[in-house]
């Protein structure tokens, strides 16, 4: 049994109560300092994304030099991705919201990877039809967050392989089997699709530089659990003549049952709020969600509750508090005992429903142009 202080964070497992500063030290990443926040704020035209301001994004690699380059007239591009194993849940929006914000405030392109191949290889229970269908469903949800059709490019792996493959050939030659075995824990029985897949996840980080024949820096916003993937990418970048991608890491958003992170897979569907959950299911999940409240109303009024351990507060913090004032008010009233959990849940439910309604409309609209973002071919490969 792990002791109280112990936690595990890898691309395949998130467990225990995570000490995020300690994790940053273990991974050897840099802290997002006030100076760096001020720099983002300034370059973004006097605005900071709420998830950065509230400390959810808290760690990085090489973000400072990427921003300095931008300030000196060298634009970057964004890269993020999704393995389509099922519906998206609200925590997935964190990274795509942030990418959308960077795209709008910095006027930079976004490259999105939909890894239908990866999920087919990784999950024996999923058919090809399912990974493709979820790939499109997820793509609509992501684009509906407000991405600019002209500046957004999708690698839908099975459809974009002709665009990816010429570079994947080069990348794959640089990655020894011993590396992926150590980083991902592959067993002799792991199918060979997955061992090769690693190369495909690296390709988008270099693709624009390769396609345009000039150096274009890359920024990857991701959960800190994904850092090991991109250490491989960073290790081989310079050997191929590309810049190491910069990373911006978030903390993990706790699941509604107060255990681990939200997850698409697994038996614990009530741990996550899926974007395709009908309103009554959303209600039920939030009503049953784990909170930082006290055993009785009297105690809560007297002693206050604990936002830091509350899964509902985590959702306010992540995206559902529309302003800093609102976020501070919820936090303060929770801590003081002025706000009871039932009322807090009613209030956030209104906002979640309003988001779902608005999102359903936006997602219908992107269906007209989603396909046109899919990159089908590569420039002439020499
Ligand atoms: N492997 C990721 C997943 O399972 C998908 C992914 C591909 C990704 N490229 C990425 C995630 C870049 C973050 C950044 O969901």
- State in Å: Cα 294 to ligand 1 middle: 38
Based on the fold, state whether residues 209 and 355 are members of the same structural domain. Answer: no
pTM of the model: 0.95
Based on the fold, state whether residues 215 and 307 are members of the same structural domain. Answer: no
Structurally, how many domains does the chain consist of?
2
- State in Å: Cα 11 to ligand 1 middle: 10
In a domain, 1, yes or no: no
Based on the fold, state whether residues 158 and 287 are members of the same structural domain. Answer: no
Based on the fold, state whether residues 129 and 213 are members of the same structural domain. Answer: yes
What was the pLDDT predicted at 258? 80
- State in Å: Cα 200 to ligand 1 middle: 10
What was the pLDDT predicted at 6? 83
Mutate to test the pocket of ligand 1, among 121, 193, 201 (most ligand atoms within 8 A of CB): 201
What was the pLDDT predicted at 1? 41
Comparing 9 with 354, which gets the higher pLDDT?
354
For residue 378, name the pLDDT band (cuts at 50, 70, 90).
Answer: confident
Domain boundary among 211, 229, 256: 256
Atom of ligand 1 nearest to the CA of 95: 13
Cα gap 296→294, rounded to integer Å: 6
- Which protein residue's CA is at the shortest distance from atom 3 of ligand 1? 83
For residue 379, name the pLDDT band (cuts at 50, 70, 90).
Answer: confident
CATH code of the domain in which 320 resides: 1.10.240.10
CATH code of the domain in which 28 resides: 3.40.50.620
- Which protein residue's CA is at the shortest distance from atom 14 of ligand 1? 80
Based on the fold, state whether residues 148 and 185 are members of the same structural domain. Answer: yes
In a domain, 378, yes or no: no
Cα gap 56→318, rounded to integer Å: 7
Q: pLDDT, tens digit, for every residue of 246-286?
A: 999 999 988 999 866 666 655 578 899 999 999 999 999 99
- State in Å: Cα 221 to ligand 1 middle: 10
- Is the per-residue pLDDT at 4 higher than 70? no
Mean pLDDT on 305-309? 95
- Is the per-residue pLDDT at 16 higher than 70? yes
- State in Å: Cα 337 to ligand 1 middle: 40
Based on the fold, state whether residues 217 and 356 are members of the same structural domain. Answer: no
Based on the fold, state whether residues 35 and 157 are members of the same structural domain. Answer: yes
- Is the per-residue pLDDT at 185 higher than 90? no
In a domain, 375, yes or no: no
- Is the per-residue pLDDT at 44 higher than 80? yes
Domain boundary among 256, 291, 326: 256
- Is the per-residue pLDDT at 3 higher than 70? no
Based on the fold, state whether residues 273 and 197 are members of the same structural domain. Answer: no
Q: pLDDT, tens digit, for every residue of 212-254?
A: 999 999 999 999 999 998 999 999 999 999 999 999 999 998 8
Based on the fold, state whether residues 38 and 120 are members of the same structural domain. Answer: yes
- State in Å: Cα 228 to ligand 1 middle: 12
In a domain, 380, yes or no: no
Q: pLDDT, tens digit, for every residue of 112-137?
A: 999 999 999 998 899 999 999 999 99
Q: pLDDT, tens digit, for every residue of 67-114?
A: 999 999 999 999 999 999 999 999 999 999 999 999 999 999 999 999
Based on the fold, state whether residues 140 and 288 are members of the same structural domain. Answer: no
Based on the fold, state whether residues 154 and 292 are members of the same structural domain. Answer: no
Structural domain of residue 178, as residue ranges? 7-256
Based on the fold, state whether residues 144 and 177 are members of the same structural domain. Answer: yes
The set of protein residues with a Cβ atom below 6 angstroms from ligand 1 is 79-83, 113, 115, 118, 201, 220, 222, 226
């Amino acid at each position: 049994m792990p002791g109280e202080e112990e936690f595990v964070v890898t691309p395949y497992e998130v467990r225990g109560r995570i000490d995020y500063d300690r994790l940053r030290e273990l991974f050897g990443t840099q802290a997002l300092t006030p100076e760096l926040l001020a720099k983002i704020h300034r370059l973004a035209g006097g605005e900071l994304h709420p998830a950065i301001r509230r400390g959810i994004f808290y760690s990085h690699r090489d973000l400072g030099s990427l921003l300095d380059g931008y300030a000196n007239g060298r634009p970057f591009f964004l890269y993020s991705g999704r393995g389509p194993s099922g519906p998206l849940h609200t925590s997935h929006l964190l990274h795509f919201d942030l990418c959308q914000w960077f795209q709008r405030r910095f006027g930079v392109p976004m490259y999105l990877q939909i890894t239908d191949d990866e999920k087919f290889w990784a999950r024996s229970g999923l058919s090809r039809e399912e990974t493709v269908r979820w790939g499109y469903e997820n793509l609509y949800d992501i684009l509906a967050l407000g991405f600019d059709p002209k500046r957004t490019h999708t690698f839908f792996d099975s459809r974009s392989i002709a665009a990816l493959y010429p570079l994947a050939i080069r990348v794959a030659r640089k990655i020894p089997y011993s590396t992926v075995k150590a980083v991902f824990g592959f067993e002799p029985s792991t199918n060979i699709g997955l061992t090769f897949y690693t190369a495909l996840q690296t390709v988008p980080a270099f693709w624009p530089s390769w396609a345009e024949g000039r150096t274009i820096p890359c920024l990857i916003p991701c959960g800190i659990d994904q850092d090991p993937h991109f250490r491989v990418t960073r290790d081989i970048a310079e050997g191929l003549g590309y810049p190491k991608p910069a990373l911006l890491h978030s903390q993990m958003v706790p699941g509604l049952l107060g255990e681990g992170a939200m997850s698409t897979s697994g038996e614990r569907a009530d741990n996550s709020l899926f974007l395709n959950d009908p309103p009554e299911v959303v209600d039920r999940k939030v009503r049953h969600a784990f909170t930082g409240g006290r055993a009785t109303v009297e105690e809560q009024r007297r002693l206050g509750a604990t936002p830091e351990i509350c899964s509902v507060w985590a959702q306010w913090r992540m995206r559902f508090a529309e302003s800093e004032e609102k976020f501070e008010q919820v936090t303060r009233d929770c801590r003081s005992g002025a706000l009871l959990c039932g009322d807090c849940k009613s209030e956030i439910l209104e906002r979640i429903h309003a988001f779902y309604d608005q999102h359903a409309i936006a997602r219908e609209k992107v269906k007209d142009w989603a396909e046109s973002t899919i990159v089908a071919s590569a420039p002439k490969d020499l």
